Amino acid sequence: MDDLVIGGTDLHQQADASDKVMKAADFQALGSFLEDYEFQLKDVNRLIVSLIMHTGIRVGEALGLARNNIDFTANAITITQAWSQGRIGPTKTKNAERVIPVSALVMQQLKRWCKLRDAYYTEHQLVNEQDLFFRNKDGKIPRPSSITACYKQLQNKLDLECSFSIHTVRHTLASVLLEKGADMVQISKLLGHANTSITSRYYLGLVPDNALEKRRELLQSLNG
């Protein structure tokens, strides 16, 4: 499960969810480490972690990416399918089908890794079934559990305080964007939610209540 399941009283669940958000400074430090990392063929798990951290896509959506889902010209990825229980299938919901912008730096990392992988496949006469982007040098798709293990190893490597699952990246990314004042509609579309009420229910309670002055300015604007 990679989205927080909400049941019972919303406030109670949101309070529990706050334990699933990495500190913004730690999240940025980990992201910066991966931005500066020179990925090799063996680093497929780290590359997937980097993409998830920079886009907020689900693990299954990352593993389900095919080559034609990645537009290196427009610097964007299109989510049309997902990897689940060892096979390709539909996305979690119809709204999960979406186009997501990706930074030029991350796209260059994807392109470089893909060239390394293609060269290896050509040399060893391997076939990439379904043209899945993250199929590794053994011809396999990484297990979701290995992506979480990689994410936790990176946190240990950087001496971060806590150990978070890869599934909490979406919580952290949403909370950081909300704290920066991002539009709820666009966050909802980015995460592939059906509507903003789902986004609000999952993530609004994760934002530190430190924006009193922003709300003060908002109310003062009513006076002209």
The DSSP result for 59-99, as a single string, is HHHHHT-BGGGEETTTTEEEE--EEETTEEE--SSGGG-EE
Query: What is the rounded distance in angstroms from the CA atom of residue 208 to the CA atom of residue 178?
Result: 10
* Model confidence, pTM: 0.82
The answer to whether residue 3 is domain-embedded is no
| Model pLDDT for residues 71-127, shown as the tens digit of each residue | 999 999 999 999 999 999 999 888 899 999 999 999 999 999 999 999 999 999 998
| Model pLDDT for residues 196-213, shown as the tens digit of each residue | 676 777 666 665 555 556
Q: Any residues with CB less than 8 A from the CB of 167 and at least 6 apart, and which?
A: 1, 2, 59, 148
Higher pLDDT, 16 or 224: 224
The identity of residue 171, as a single letter, is H
100 membership: H or E segment, kind and range: strand 98-101
Encoding tokens for residue 210? 């430190």
The answer to whether residue 172 is domain-embedded is yes
Band the pLDDT of 193: cuts 50, 70, 90.
confident
The answer to whether residue 65 is domain-embedded is yes
| Model pLDDT for residues 145-191, shown as the tens digit of each residue | 999 999 999 999 999 987 899 988 988 888 888 778 777 777 888 88
Which residue range is the domain that position 216 belongs to? 10-223
Number of domains in the chain: 1
The answer to whether residue 2 is domain-embedded is no
Give the per-residue pLDDT at 58.
93
Does the structure show a pLDDT above 80 at 143? Answer: yes
CATH code where residue 139 lies: 1.10.443.10
Encoding tokens for residue 152? 């936790």
Q: Within the chain, where are the H helices?
A: 10-17, 24-35, 44-55, 59-63, 104-123, 144-157, 169-179, 184-191, 196-203, 212-220
Give the per-residue pLDDT at 217.
72
The answer to whether residue 89 is domain-embedded is yes
Give the per-residue pLDDT at 105.
96
Band the pLDDT of 14: cuts 50, 70, 90.
very low
Higher pLDDT, 224 or 153: 153
CB 152 within 8 A of CB 164: yes
The answer to whether residue 58 is domain-embedded is yes
CB 167 within 8 A of CB 1: yes
Overall average pLDDT of the 208-222 stretch:
64
